[in-house]
Chain A
Amino acid sequence: MRTPDRGASAKFPPFVIGCAGESRIAQSDEVVCVRNRQKLSGHFLRMCAFLHHVIGTPNVERETTVQRYPWETVIKAAMRKYPNPMNPSVVGVDVLDRNLDTHGRLHSHRLLSTEWGLPGIVRAILGTNRTLTYIKEHSIVDPDEKKMELCSTNITLTNLVSVDERLVYRPHPENPDVTVLTQEAIITVKGVSLSSYLEGLMALTMSANARKGWDAIEWIIQNSEREKVPLCDLC
């Protein structure tokens, strides 16, 4: 990613968004907010910073956290992440495609639906009865390198806002019983009307990857018995 321009009136250089081999270039009328990048004029920067804060995405461009479970246990939980009480807005998950690539890595393409639960009056203002937003997710599990990468982006409300999130799970280099999660999110804001902000805010508060990403994984690990496929070899 490039160093951003200063000056709100300058044309933005191409800004690449995306991961796992699927990237796109931000259009010139998009306003890209990457926390700490200072790419925007004050107004949009403040709004994006607020949105990052509201949905609990990392305060720095990339946030790294650790959890005391081995990588395999975490990955098994991550593949079965929904439902969990930390992400109540995710109401549907489907696998659209799954395949092994030539390097033996497992690719999964999934569709997630999230329900806003908007009150009727808000829906009337927004002029839509649609309260479901859809997210597509691409994950790649490399069992040899021990790396799982997940990328997600919304596929509805794309004319208003894009939330591109990327998570990478790897074993801790010094301790195989610990897993490291690296997480980042890029919010791209389009449109300047008040209702656009409102819709964007709603979509972002329902982000499938909430702040407490580890809480969800931990819950799944501890509740694995219910599916009769234990996650850990000691269960």
Chain B
Amino acid sequence: MNSVGEGCTELKREYDQCFNRWFAEKFLKGDRSGDPCTEMFKKYQLCVQKAIKDKDIPIDGVEFMGPNKEKPES
């Protein structure tokens, strides 16, 4: 599965693999010891947040689009 930001897909895959392993083998088994994926997540996030900004994805608000409207400035 790709990331919303094309350049972030590899970082996303590394993080997902780490998370899925932790989720299945630790979290669901009641092991609350630390999350080993935080560094990976940070790198991945930096990439994604930039892609969201570049693509004007309205993650915090609403977007108005209609047949006669221009794409609004953010």
Q: Residues on A close to B: CB < 8 A? A: 72, 75-76, 79-80, 82-83, 90-96, 98, 100, 104, 106, 111, 113, 125-128, 130, 134, 136, 141, 143-144, 155-160, 195-196, 227, 229, 231
Contact = CB atoms under 8 A, between A and B. Distances in A.
Interface string B2-17: 1111001000100111
Contacts of A125: 67
A73 B64 CA distance: 40
A31 B59 CA distance: 24
Contact of B62 (A91, A126, A159, A227): A159
A94 B3 CA distance: 6
A127 B59 contact: no
B4 A104 contact: no
Given A227-B20, A229-B21, A136 B5 contact: no
Given A155-B62, A159-B66, A229-B21, A95 B15 contact: yes
A75 B5 CA distance: 26
The A contact surface, by secondary structure, is mixed
B43 to A, nearest CB: 13
B67 A111 contact: no
Contact of B2 (A92, A144, A195, A231): A92
B67 A104 contact: no
Contacts of B64: 158-159
A92 B59 contact: no
B40 to A, nearest CB: 11
B26 to A, nearest CB: 10
Nearest to B25: A229
Contacts of A158: 62-64
A143 B30 contact: yes
Given A96-B59, A111-B52, A229-B21, A83 B65 contact: no
Nearest to A196: B66
3 smallest beta-carbon distances between A and B, as pairs: A127-B67, A92-B4, A158-B62
Nearest to A110: B4
Interface in B12-34: 12, 15-17, 19-21, 23-24, 27-28, 30, 32
B68 A94 contact: no
A56 to B, nearest CB: 22
A6 B42 CA distance: 51
Contact of B65 (A76, A92, A95, A128): A128
Contacts of B67: 125-128, 195
B28 A92 contact: no
Contacts of B41: 95, 98
Given A155-B62, A156-B65, A80 B20 contact: yes
A113 B4 contact: yes
A156 B62 CA distance: 7
A95 B22 CA distance: 15
